[in-house]
Amino acid sequence: MLRYEDITVGSELPSRDHTATIVQLFMYNAAIWNPHRIHFDHAYATEEEGYDAIVLDGPLQGDWIGQVVTDWIGEDATMVSFGYANRRAAYLGETMSAGGKVEEKNDETKEVKVSLYLKNAQGEVTIPGHAVVRFA
Amino acid sequence: MAGLLTPEITARIGQANPTIHVEVTRRDIQKYAVSTGQRAKKYLDGDEAPPLFHFGYSMAILPPEKLRKDGIAEDKLIPPLPLKRVMAGSSDTVYHRAIRPGDNIKITRKLKDIYEKAGKTGPLIFVVTEVVVETEDGEPILNETTSLIAR
């Protein structure tokens, strides 16, 4: 069980690696109903739009950093706010590492602010983010 | 300031897309949960939707011949901009409660603001939209603010 009292500012949240397969990417784009060709048509993505390969959806990467928070809090706190930004492209086949850090605690509201990141194997952040969770 | 934004563009601020009405199903949540690699049982079982689940509900449902060559549906909310290179987008959401199966919800997307700023390498245009998700009874679920930058 995660307790507000036990959380220290500066501590790291458990990280997790994600390597999407073409099947997972297909399922994701089907689930959100996204027909954008850069996510499933290799020839189109590389030849017409100049990408290195099939592009991972930004909101999928955003979801991965959201899971850093939801897996960390479980049922012990609720998500108050969450944000992410698309900084650079990530491609099918890349292993992306999602993680985060405790930035602030507010003893009055029992809210904890965390910063989040998704990094590629070169250590470049493709998606930074932030969230606030509240303990009962 | 360069004055790139014409009255035709700024007149669009405040306009909204037609409201989308959705009956949330457990199966929709399960598909989203599996495809995003969720680990929490409540998401995989479809008892509750993960925080970004609502994203797909803003997608237009159009036949292929109505889509652009790149597969995307024309975004009627955002007017054609004089700067064509779209850079980093961002999303910030405030949550009131989770989406659950059986919810009857409505999604409204509105153009909140368009403004320009001088960047280091030239002018930038910022486009801000707001997505409001609530139940048909008006119970708030979430408010999402998205922004994109064109240069």
Query: Number of C-alpha atoms within 13 angstroms, CB side, residue B127?
Result: 26
Whether residue B57 contacts residue A85, with contact meaning beta carbons closer than 8 Å, is answered with no
In this predicted structure, what is the pLDDT of residue B67? Answer: 94
Does the pLDDT value for residue A84 go beyond 60?
yes
DSSP string of A3-43? -GGG--TTPEEEEEEE---HHHHHHHHHHTT---GGGT-HH
Question: A31 contacts in B (CB within 8 Å)?
Answer: 28, 31-32, 35, 56
- The arithmetic mean of pLDDT across residues A39-58, rounded, is 96
Closest Cα of chain A to B129: distance in Å? 14
Dihedral angle sign, alpha carbons of residues A111, A113, A118, A122: negative
Intervals of chain B under pLDDT 50: none
Of B31, B90, B95, the CB nearest to A80: B95
Does the pLDDT value for residue A108 go beyond 90?
yes
97-136 of A, contacting B, C-beta below 8 A = none
Question: In whole numbers, what is the pLDDT of chain A averaged over residues?
Answer: 97
In this predicted structure, what is the pLDDT of residue B88? Answer: 67
Residues 6+ apart with CB under 8 A from A122: none
Is A57 touching B (CB cutoff 8 A)? Answer: no
Question: A35 contacts in B (CB within 8 Å)?
Answer: 64, 67, 71-72
CA–CA gap between residue B89 and residue A86 (Å, rounded) = 5
> How much is the ipTM here?
0.97
Interchain proximity B72–A36, CB inside 8 Å: yes
In this predicted structure, what is the pLDDT of residue B3? Answer: 83
In this predicted structure, what is the pLDDT of residue B141? Answer: 98
In this predicted structure, what is the pLDDT of residue B75? Answer: 86
DSSP alpha helix (H) spans, chain B:
7-10, 26-35, 41-44
- The arithmetic mean of pLDDT across residues A47-70, rounded, is 96
In this predicted structure, what is the pLDDT of residue A54? Answer: 97
Question: B71 contacts in A (CB within 8 Å)?
Answer: 35-37, 41
3 state DSSP class of A98: strand
Of A79, A80, A84, the CB nearest to B91: A84
